[in-house]
Structure 1
């Protein structure tokens, strides 16, 4: 885990992070939320577009992607932050669902100074005209800067986005957009095994299959289950087997 700290913009409460030499308000970014730990499945085109945005030169400067709960939107934005940090880009990440009250609009001030801005869950604030005006102005400043890059996540497509400002809706609809598709069972199993390997655990295919098919297909729950099994395995010094998983999960 990595902490990024040091208040900016006079805001006392925020889950905002930067990667690079300029730091921001405290936030905990998971160190396993990387491009290499994201199981792309049918989302390779999106993954390629986001990876390209973290390079030194880019063909496109903004990406909007959407999908349901548990598909990896926040994982991908954290991965963008991590990858951009390695190329020495100044990055800002803001989870808008945590700060939907208009009192937090000041978080957007000065963001056009950054090389790359990640806005998570934009649909959490777009029914507020105040937020929409501030986001529209930010979008224009980033475009006018000639260097800024913008990555936006939402639960719905730009066409379906409830938005209190038509100008902002038009901007978002003109942005390169991708749907983040859910994984099938094989993809979920690979994702589990990848995250287990990142922790130094060996998760055999039959154990991953058991967890996915018998316990949960929700990725948030699957990661929580993996964390539970990891702790139990370490505490009891036991391998991750199907019987051990049944015992630990009380199945």
Structure 2
């Protein structure tokens, strides 16, 4: 049974392995995360557009590998030597491109983690060759890193994700809702998450079930005005 109107129930952000839907667009990346102990050189670069699932897979790996996660932009204020004793995931590496101090910190972290026998996961939206890093030694290390690209999700994957996100919010969609959403939404995980949150909020505010008519109101509101 779907959620009763007017009950603002909590939503759980699902970032576990069982919550990650495997499809052709992400199967290789998911397989490499599952087999992380076999990464060549102990490291992997995970790439793909915003909303493709990099953050989710990073959290999946961190849980499996007991790894620390940090944003690349925080490297300068991080105890690199202490961090290097763990398996480490560094997110959004392209954000530090051209920052000599941050790139140097990543270079040292890279070397120390691997020297300690740890594993290193690095993420960024574009292919590694387009990360824009300028430190020659770091660029060389990145060129030698196995990369796995996540593509934008296909209809099968987006459908499963929408159903899961709605279920997380105690919402049960009618059969015609998911195809309708797919026909009008942006094609990304991020867009799906934002859309479901907006549908939930509108349902509560207007005291209406989540139907195609309510979805039309939400999607029209999200569409940019000319």
In the superposition, the TM-score normalised over structure 2's length comes to 0.79
> What's the counterpart of residue 59 of structure 1?
38
In 1, the alpha carbon distance for the partners of 2:172 and 2:112 equals 48
Contact 2:152 2:187 in 1 (8 A): no
Q: How far is the alpha carbon of 1:120 from its aligned partner?
A: 0.7
Q: How far is the alpha carbon of 1:64 from its aligned partner?
A: 0.4
Q: How far is the alpha carbon of 1:131 from its aligned partner?
A: 1.6
> What's the counterpart of residue 68 of structure 1?
49
* Aligned CA distance change for structure 1 residues 208 and 130 (closer, same or farther; 3 Å): same
> What's the counterpart of residue 182 of structure 1?
152
Contact 2:114 2:120 in 1 (8 A): no
Contact 1:37 1:195 in 2 (8 A): no
Q: How far is the alpha carbon of 1:121 from its aligned partner?
A: 0.6
For structure 2, the 5+ residue unaligned runs are 1-11, 222-226
State whether structure 2 residue 114 is matched by structure 1 residue 152: no
Q: How far is the alpha carbon of 1:241 from its aligned partner?
A: 2.2
Contact 2:153 2:189 in 1 (8 A): no
Q: How far is the alpha carbon of 1:153 from its aligned partner?
A: 0.5
State whether structure 2 residue 167 is matched by structure 1 residue 197: yes
Deviations 1:87-131 (A, max 9, x none): 7x2x2111225x4xxxx51315221121x2111110111322222
State whether structure 2 residue 177 is matched by structure 1 residue 207: yes
* Aligned CA distance change for structure 1 residues 173 and 242 (closer, same or farther; 3 Å): same
State whether structure 2 residue 16 is matched by structure 1 residue 34: yes
> What's the counterpart of residue 123 of structure 1?
94
Bigger shift: residues 123-132 or 204-213: 204-213
State whether structure 2 residue 86 is matched by structure 1 residue 133: no
State whether structure 2 residue 45 is matched by structure 1 residue 45: no
Q: How far is the alpha carbon of 1:245 from its aligned partner?
A: 2.1
Q: How far is the alpha carbon of 1:65 from its aligned partner?
A: 1.3
> What's the counterpart of residue 142 of structure 2?
172
**Structure ranking higher in strand proportion:** 1
Contact 2:184 2:219 in 1 (8 A): no
- Highest RCO, 1 vs 2 (Cα 8 Å, sep ≥ 6): 2
State whether structure 2 residue 69 is matched by structure 1 residue 93: yes
1:152 alignment partner, SS class = strand
